[in-house]
Structure 1
């Protein structure tokens, strides 16, 4: 299959946690198929935006392949990178509010996750097609700091390196009055979360022609 973009994600291994994410969002990134949504009124609407990406934590944001690179070369480079990266571990995960979004974020020290993400961003950047001036302008948002603008220019995304914060998105932007209710619903629906939370593999994922992402290959972190 040909893909319009690629990304490096953390995708949970098969199990209750991954199944929760698929049923919450309505898209199974591992099996590349729709998943029956939980039966909560309004869930389809608040998950429509994150659904296309599947349940994941971003390590290197989606990018178009540079014109002189191939998907096979990218695959080999990701495998090489993973072989030299040590796994990352933190205390666990917790549900939190990021602005008006709800997401799972790490509990405790997250420097190791920062290290893995930074390596993915930097070491694979030769495969990323550079953004045009118009694309850069579209990605700039009011309130972005000078540092975030610099990161956008250098890496194609403003929330990488020292601005990176690992998260697993569960909703689109919510009305303020709905955040508390959806927080309670998610907390009641979550399976037992992994303790500790360990990222011992990274996943190459591709954006299909229908705009949804699917898992292409997992790579064990063996450094």
Structure 2
């Protein structure tokens, strides 16, 4: 079993509903949907583009998936998350936009938000005591993507390469998109999320996502409101 700490819109927020229907699954309820067709894209290809992000659910990573350290319990993790929520304030992203990051598309802040980066930093540190060391297979998998020296150091120390200076907040919408399909997918995303693109996004909670079985879908187990 693995756990992760993610930001997410409230389950009743239209943003959460739009994202769940785009991906094809609601991480709060487990409900499945038929994702919208992407005009000009083969349905099988479109389904493949969503296969990876639908498993994780719509989210922004604060503490990447980890197994519990020996001697730690889920109840302790939930209690620590509630304490963290009481001690940390909400963060508002002034403008959220859709961009292509390498080979995939995601919602990202139009400009860096210092308070959000700081929240991510504190999340990485505060819950490190709950993280079991990475298995060698997990380390090898991460290294196979090609890491900078700093990312390698992060992987060894924190279990994830993209933390602190390497952190870039994003909420993934697709898997790898072939170059010749990028414009088609971008148009579809712009149309589907027209009510969210270019708007502020208030991050007012951290959610504990759980992967009960390796390779299975993540579900929301607990939410802690940011009230500091």
So what's the TM-score if we normalise by structure 1?
A: 0.93
Counterpart residue number, 1:59: 62
Counterpart residue number, 1:22: 20
Residue 187 of structure 1 pairs with residue 185 of structure 2: no
| Aligned counterpart in structure 2 of residue 93 of structure 1, from 55, 78, 96 | 96
Post-superposition Cα deviations, 1:6-30, rounded to whole Å, max 9, x if no partner, equal 0001111122211111111111001
Kept in 2: contact 1:17–1:191 (CA 8 A): no
Instruction: Say if 1:134 and 1:44 are closer, same or farther in 2 by CA, change over 3 A.
Output: closer
Unmatched tracts of structure 1, length 5 or more: none
CA distance in 1, matches of 2:145, 2:65: 22
CA positional deviation for 1:142: 5.0
1:21-170 equivalences in 2 (<5 Å): 21-40=19-38, 41=43, 42-141=45-144, 143-170=146-173
Q: 1:119 is paired with a residue of what secondary structure? A: helix
CA positional deviation for 1:191: 4.3
Residue 205 of structure 1 pairs with residue 209 of structure 2: yes
Q: 2:221 is paired with a residue of what secondary structure? A: strand
Instruction: Say if 1:71 and 1:142 are closer, same or farther in 2 by CA, change over 3 A.
Output: closer
Kept in 2: contact 1:205–1:215 (CA 8 A): yes
Instruction: Say if 1:82 and 1:98 are closer, same or farther in 2 by CA, change over 3 A.
Output: same
CA positional deviation for 1:137: 2.4
Q: 2:63 is paired with a residue of what secondary structure? A: strand
Counterpart residue number, 1:220: 225
CA distance in 2, matches of 1:104, 1:140: 25
Kept in 2: contact 1:92–1:193 (CA 8 A): no
CA distance in 2, matches of 1:31, 1:110: 30
My pick for the range that moved more, 102-111 or 176-185, is 102-111
CA distance in 2, matches of 1:202, 1:61: 13
Unmatched tracts of structure 2, length 5 or more: none
CA distance in 2, matches of 1:219, 1:33: 22
CA positional deviation for 1:61: 0.5
